[in-house]
Amino acid sequence: MQTHTIPAERKARERLAALMGFASLREFENALRRHTRNVRGNFEALFKAEKPAPPRPLPPDFAGREAEWSRLLSDHSFSDGTQSLRLIETFALGPGYVHVSPRTVDLALQLLARMFALCPKRHSSGKLSLPANALSDPDRVLARLDSYISAYGARAMLYETWTSNPSLFELLLLLFDRSEFLAEVAIRTPDLVDELELSGFLRRRKSAGEILRDLRHGRDDKDQRLWLRRYHQAELMRIGLRDILGLADFEQNLEELSALADACLQYALEVVLRKSKRKAPPFVIVGLGKLGGAELNYGSDLDIIFVAVSKTKNLSALQGLAAQIMDLLSSPTEFGVAFVTDARLRPDGEKGLLVNTLDAYEDYYRRRAMLWEIQCLTRARPIAGDMKTGDQFQRLAATLASFTPENVAAGFSLRGTPAKPAPRRAQRNLKDAATEPGSGLAAYRADWKDEIARMRSRIEKERTPSGKNDLAIKTGTGGLVDAEFIAQTLCLAHGWQEPNTLRALQLARERAALPRASSDSLIENYRKLLRIEGILRRWSFEAEAVLPDKPAPLYRVAIRCGFTCAEGLMKALGEYRSAIRKVYHQVIKQSIP
């Protein structure tokens, strides 16, 4: 029976106690009291910590109370008191030419009290207290709120909805504070957030398959570019709100963004195939970089290559199909782009064919590719199209991106290909082997780790803005690139085929490729740094990798990251990056087997 009530009758209670393994009814009841007391204590501690302190009553009107409102705004971290007071008065009383009912004014003041409860509060002592989900920039949130209400139009109905669904109002405030990009989307399509919140879709996680099924509902839309972008923006809003509300942790968030990209690539391929009247895909789309690792962040480009079966005869006909797929996702429209696609990691870069055969890829990687191009293969993943060819490419990548002594000695021969006897000095003879079909790797050298270290050093020097190493959380010392290079180096050294950076680091811990303490430190600090990058990129949906150097915006980033001040953020970042750099030196400078 579905019941949640312990029976009142003594015999029934004794039977329940016996069924649960207690020696007596007294022992059962003592345990029951202990557990319920502990649960209640945890409940009260949680909600006492998360519930903001009740704000003091707001002034009931505005005329003659300007000084009181100004003090209130200043105490709640508004920096432009004059402008914010004007917006608050408009929020409560409406624009000058609009009549607002007393009921609407009363609701507005209730909503304002909720907003003030989320603002950092400065006490008379000068100390700043932060409620849970504190707003980093109340002035900007208020301005966005004003724009949203103007776009929505029905002020009275909107306030009624927010008052009866306060979580929806607070969600909008957090959205306006946490993402400038999503705030603009919400203002352009003001019903979107309501639909997502009230429909329950925010609590659902979608796979690439589910997203693709949704996309296919628009296959008859006359303008497929606009359909893709409209759907893409709605999904970005859903994913971003799940992130802001903490309904998905940052690792899930990267997976969901990657699933959206996977589905959009597959859908774009289907659109182009229908248009060209082709039934079967003539190539596979392979993801590299963050797409290959299923760890896309906000604003990430899609690094892709197109690989056709080796027997393909008319390659020139396929170049246009690949270009159409990229155009469908990347060309600018009134709704922006869906994803920026980048195919420059293909053989010979921009000078090379957009689509090439598997044999041509193998020949290039074996004979002419540089070490960094082989390093890129550690993050290869077939995404859409001819997945049989994708599996063959994956097999090739696994072979060429394995620098184990056994694979080196065998001349990087694909399994299933007759291997030549391993030479006594395999590393010295590899370039000779590279001239033979199906074996060798010209990019390999005995001191390959030294070359990777030199590449990392160049990235640190050339891509980190001068004088901003401490702010460069990606390319600077101990930044995200350190962790990525550690993962890729370990994959090369051990022959692992794991394109996801975090999972590769976890694999290193599981297989004791690093000391346990080093692995734990690396994974913990990489996660923290990755989360901060996500918060930074969520704001603009661009590839931001450098923290702002001015105090005010740096403070806002700190608040969004859960710190009380910029100094606390910078101190923590220094600790994260120092720990990552320490492990980087252990991996890159250790002797080669």
- In this model, does residue 429 exceed pLDDT 50? no
Task: Specify the pLDDT at position 423.
Answer: 40
User: What are the structure tokens assigned to 404, written together?
Assistant: 């184990």
CA-to-CA distance for 436 and 432, rounded, in angstroms? 8
**373 sits in which H/E element:** helix 371-376
Sole residue written with tokens 């393909």: 312
Average pLDDT, the chain: 91
Q: Is the pLDDT of residue 426 over 70?
A: no
Indicate the pLDDT class of residue 469, thresholds 50, 70 and 90. Answer: very high
Task: Give the tens place of pLDDT for each residue, 81-117.
Answer: 999 999 999 999 998 767 789 999 999 999 999 999 9
Q: How far apart are the first and last CA of the chain?
A: 63
Task: Between 64 and 283, name the one with better pLDDT.
Answer: 283
| Beta partners for residue 380, in sequence order | none
Integer-rounded Cα Rg, in Å, for the chain is 29
Over 70: is that where the pLDDT of 418 sits?
no
> What integer pLDDT is reported at residue 424 of this predicted model?
39
Average pLDDT over residues 247-274: 96
Query: pLDDT tens across 203-249, in order?
Result: 889 999 999 999 999 999 999 999 999 999 999 999 999 999 999 99
Question: Three-state SS for 215?
Answer: helix
Residue 40 predicted with pLDDT over 80:
no
Q: Count of CB atoms within 10 A of residue 51's CB?
A: 11
In sign, the C-alpha dihedral spanning 509, 286, 472, 587 is positive
pLDDT tens digit string along 539-582? 999 888 899 999 999 999 999 999 999 999 999 999 999 999 99
HSE at residue 74, side-chain half, CA atoms within 13 A, is: 9
Q: What is the pLDDT of residues 478-511, one digit of tens each?
A: 999 999 999 999 999 999 999 999 999 999 999 9
Closest alpha carbon to 307 in 378, 392, 366, 371: 392
CA distances in angstroms from 109 to 59, 90, 154, 161, 179, listed in the order given? 9, 12, 17, 14, 25
pLDDT of 48 reads 61
Burial class (CB in 10 A: 0-12, 13-18, 19+), 393: buried
Report the C-alpha gap between 385 and 282 in whole angstroms: 7
Distance CA 473, CA 475 (A): 6
Render pLDDT for 354-399 as a digit per residue (tens, 0 to 9). 999 999 999 999 999 999 999 999 999 999 999 999 999 999 999 9
SS (H, E, C) 101-123: CHHHHHHHHHHHHHHHHCCCEEC
Burial (CB count within 10 angstroms: exposed 0-12, middle 13-18, buried 19+), residue 435: exposed
Buried b / exposed e over 346-384, threshold 16 CB at 10 Å, is bbeeeebbbbbbbebbbbbbbeebebebbbbbbbbbbbb
